[in-house]
Structure 1
Amino acid sequence: MLYFVKTPAFIKKLYPECLWNVETNENILYITFDDGPTPQVTSSVLEVLKKYNAKATFFCIGKNVKEHFDIYKQIISDGHKPANHTFNHLNGWKTDDKKYLEDIAEASNIIDSGFFRPPYGRITKFQLRALQGEKFKLKTVMWDVLSGDFDVKISPENCYLNVINNAKAGSIIVFHDSVKAFPRLEYALPKFLDFFSAKGFQFKIL
């Protein structure tokens, strides 16, 4: 499985219309979680975030929100920000434009947000332009640091190191609110929060 833990500058330049990180001189990090809400995972994540007074942005899959709306409401009531991650977790490179945009629109009916993240980070220029238009008015958010928690071949320790070795002020960091990622997430998330809290960082929503 090939992926960049730290997003290279040349990729950011290919998609300048996307948000990759936040320019800031303050000690702030932006944690994001993809793919939830997930009954076996989200409640644990929310408890860890609460312990560190950390706020995060949750890029939710519409069908998961529909099935677990009580968990979705808990995310919001805890002060976190929900965002659109399509309804059916579609790959923009492999999906017809019309079908892809309809799927995002369906998710927008249940997820009230001005932010969108494409599953797998795969989206075409046409799709990006459509999402920026009057119909959607969605800002596409990518990331600066990928934890790799979805990768079953890496250890929980390496997942943690991926984040602390690459995150800096203004970084947008990706974790996954999923059963697959949880063995690495449950180890890396509290240690990451503890590490950067000790350095005086705050964790805010986008």
Structure 2
Amino acid sequence: MMKKTIIAFCSLFILYMPVAKPTHANEIKRWKYEKTGLVFWEADTKEKLIALTFDDGPDPLYTIQILDAMKKYNAKGTFFVIGKEAERFPEILKRQAIEGHEIANHTYRHKFRDMKNPNVLKAELRKNSDLIKRITGKAPTLFRPIAGYYDEQIIETSIDNGYYVVLWTWHQDTRDWKKPGAKRIARNVLYDTKPGDIVILHDAGGDRSQTVKAVEYILESLYKRGYKCVTVSELLSHSNSVVPVLLLNP
């Protein structure tokens, strides 16, 4: 009887004993790159500020609807645009700029393989930057790698060409591209919102009607809770650890 009791106790102890959290490679890389002050996942602030970011646009249907929703709440966002799409719909970029949103670089062609060659990536960044500046009068200072993928070469190429690299807060990956439903997309954002969060959404690249509806839910809820949606650059300017300066002259 005693032997069985001891075995049972030991089994429970092993089951519930604290386990050291493994250190993942991406955590090590994040710490390394954050130290540069040029790569960001979020801002260090206690103010109720949050940045909604949108990849892969502009789109003549969904981007417009998102801009309408944001205008209703006086919200500002950051749009990581693809050059080929911006070339097709320059009026949308002009509207974004006029309404106080931030336009950022997401490469010209949006081809993953282009990021693996530093010379090609440099050309992609430059071509998109020149296009954005021609349309809006201001060159972008922020870059988001395609699908958020980064390695040392991509980071170094981006920084060497005058960009801040912006990813997103780990718990704010909405995965809206999976189309799980507008309420679930919104819930992913609102469940554990924290000051300084950077949220990733998509305003193009497929049917984004769920994202549009989710943005309306998100904005309504955030503003009821006292949050303000700002551009990434404004968010970072409130950071307690890093106060960015523009690396490129507009």
Q: Structure 2 length normalisation: TM-score?
A: 0.73
Which position in structure 2 is the counterpart of 1:149?
Answer: 176
Q: Which residues of structure 2 form unaligned runs of 5+?
A: 1-25, 133-138, 233-250
Q: Distance in 2 between matches of 1:95 and 1:64?
A: 22
Please identify which structure carries the higher helix content.
2
The correspondence for 2:144, drawn from 117, 135, 138, is 117
Name the aligned partner's letter for residue 100 of structure 1: L
Which position in structure 1 is the counterpart of 2:221?
Answer: 195
Name the aligned partner's letter for residue 108 of structure 1: S
Question: Which secondary structure state, in structure 2, belongs to the residue aligned with residue 109 of structure 1?
Answer: helix
Q: Which residues of structure 1 form unaligned runs of 5+?
A: 1-7
Which position in structure 2 is the counterpart of 1:61?
Answer: 82
The correspondence for 2:198, drawn from 172, 179, 182, is 172
Q: Distance in 1 between matches of 2:29 and 2:207?
A: 25
Which position in structure 1 is the counterpart of 2:96?
Answer: 75
Which position in structure 1 is the counterpart of 2:54?
Answer: 33
Question: Which secondary structure state, in structure 2, belongs to the residue aligned with residue 49 of structure 1?
Answer: helix
Percent identity over the alignment is: 27
Does the CA-based 8 Å contact 1:143-1:174 persist in structure 2? yes
Q: Structure 1 length normalisation: TM-score?
A: 0.88
Deviation at 1:158, TM superposition (A): 1.4
Larger Rg: 2
Mark the CA change 1:55 to 1:156 in structure 2 (over 3 Å): closer, same or farther: same
Q: How many residues align?
A: 196
Q: Distance in 2 between matches of 1:92 and 1:172?
A: 26
CA RMSD for the aligned pairs? 1.9
Deviation at 1:95, TM superposition (A): 3.4
Q: Distance in 2 between matches of 1:179 and 1:98?
A: 26
Name the aligned partner's letter for residue 155 of structure 2: L
Name the aligned partner's letter for residue 171 of structure 1: D
Mark the CA change 1:98 to 1:205 in structure 2 (over 3 Å): closer, same or farther: same
Which position in structure 1 is the counterpart of 2:212?
Answer: 186
Which position in structure 1 is the counterpart of 2:30?
Answer: 12
